[in-house]
Amino acid sequence: QLRSGPLAGISLGMVGCGRAWNEE
């Protein structure tokens, strides 16, 4: 339920950004 909410999107977005920064 909450996983498909805006907070889940923000969390996944932050994780994705963190991985992108680490890869660079």
| Across 6-10, average pLDDT | 76
Give the model's confidence band at 6: pLDDT under 50 very low, under 70 low, under 90 confident, else very high: confident
**How confident is the model over 1-24, as a mean pLDDT?**
71
Top pLDDT among 21 and 10 is at: 10
Cα separations in angstroms, 3 against 9, 13, 16, 18, 21: 8, 13, 16, 19, 24
The pLDDT of residue 21 is above 60: yes
pLDDT of 12 reads 75
pLDDT of residue 3: 60
Tell me the three state secondary structure of residue 5: coil
pLDDT in the model for residue 22:
67
